[in-house]
Amino acid sequence: MHFRASEVAEAVGGELIGPDVQIDGASIDSRSIRPGQLFVPVVAERDGHDFIPAALESGAAAYFTTQDEPVGGTAIRVPDTALALADLGRAVRSRIPDRVVGVTGSVGKTSTKDLLAGVLGTTYRTAASEKSFNNELGLPITLAGADDDVEAVVLEMGARGIGHIDLLCSIARPTVGVITRVEGVHLELFGDIESVARAKGELVECLPADGIAVLNADHRYVAAMADRTSARVLRYGLSPDADVYASDIVVDDELRASFRLHTPWGSADVRLGARGEHQVPNALAAAAAGGGLGVSVQDIAAGMSSAQLSGLRMELARSSSGVVVLNDAYNANPTSMSAALKSLAALPASRRVAVLGTMAELGADSPEQHLAIALEARDLGVEVVAVAEEAYGDTARHVAGVDDAVSLLSDVGDGDAVLVKGSRVAALERVAQALLD
């Protein structure tokens, strides 16, 4: 989105210092900033102000600063750079038509966001959150990065406490809210699953009366949120009782699901580009939101078929030695871990191995949750290699790190399949890369 620096200063209540340049988008990372963008130095473990010169050298048109003495170029002095970025997001939102979709949930929100972007992109000029840019920094950056003629925006919304999604809604003012599932993740932060549900439900509470709440009918905490909104409710799920549902689900040897899609706007055959049977509910959520915004059922099917998921999510590749590698290493919780194990078990293979890292932020039940996953893997006939996580128990083989895991897998070969999955802190994509190299 293009702005003059003076317009940005006015929108955020800042002071313009230097030439009134044109700005196109924003970034908080001086290493990846593009020419013309606004650099927003975030003050956290490191002070982003230290990287303003590097951002200017890389082509930043202007920057926020809280310092009395700017370092040159065009500066916009503000009391707080993060709050100013949020205000910039609010200003951008005022230029966007009322096709703004917020997507949240304990599991599946990034995949649902990607699928919905594919659906809406068939009909509207669409912008969507990159990767998992789902917090108070990533969301306004997504808005600021939209094209001037954007017609629809899909925004992933994460929550690490009560009130977080309410804050994101104050910036984005969504007209459609999608909630995937409520599960017992991030319990170290929330305490209990009821608090998770309360936080996620803030999305539907903020919707306007003429908006649309897209709710998972198969999950009771989500289905119950219909009572928390004045918006129109569209329910999706695997049961014919839902407004949008799937029948005749078949998963091929590449883990791609095909099914018959049923909606209030008609039916169509769908073959997903995303892998895993667990993507079917995410696709139904995307179909409901897209249909509610006027996308034809034929275009919904086409958009879901061509949609590409963000990286490190159910990526399937084969090594030169014939090992099938299923790289789902972006993140992990008990629900997504179970789904990935079932996908691994569905692959044609003579031997199946899961390289598993820790599942972070599970709270007091973390040991039991890890052990349950290891036992599920055993029941599915999957060998477990646990990387730096003793809680997977005696049925797993344990290694201290990535290099040890790769060494232990030296005997996998043609016809074998390996799943790699763990929370982001484990960075287990390095195992997948080593196997493919």
Binding site feature residues:
105-111
Work out the end-to-end distance of the chain between its first and last CA atoms, rounded to an integer number of angstroms: 40
d(CA 127, CA 143): 8
Annotated binding residues for ATP, as ranges? 105-111
Contacts of 221 (CB under 8 A, 6+ apart): 182, 193, 194, 196, 197
**In 182-319, alpha helices (H):** 187-190, 193-200, 202-205, 220-223, 279-292, 297-306
Q: In Å, what is the CA distance from 419 to each residue of 78, 129, 339, 354?
A: 47, 27, 11, 5
- Nearest Cα neighbor of 283 from 365, 214, 359 is 214
The amino acid sitting at 214 is V
Q: Which residues of 235-254 are buried (b: 16+ CB within 10 A; e: fewer)?
A: bbbbeeebbbbbeeeebeee
Q: Where are the extended beta strands (E) located within 252-338?
A: 256-263, 266-275, 315-318, 324-327
Please report, as a single letter, which amino acid is at residue 280.
V
Q: With contact defined as beta carbons under 8 Å apart, do 425 and 360 qualify?
A: yes
φ/ψ region of 292 (left if φ > 0, alpha if ψ in -120 to 50, else beta) reads alpha
- How far, in Å, CA of 107 to CA of 104, rounded? 8
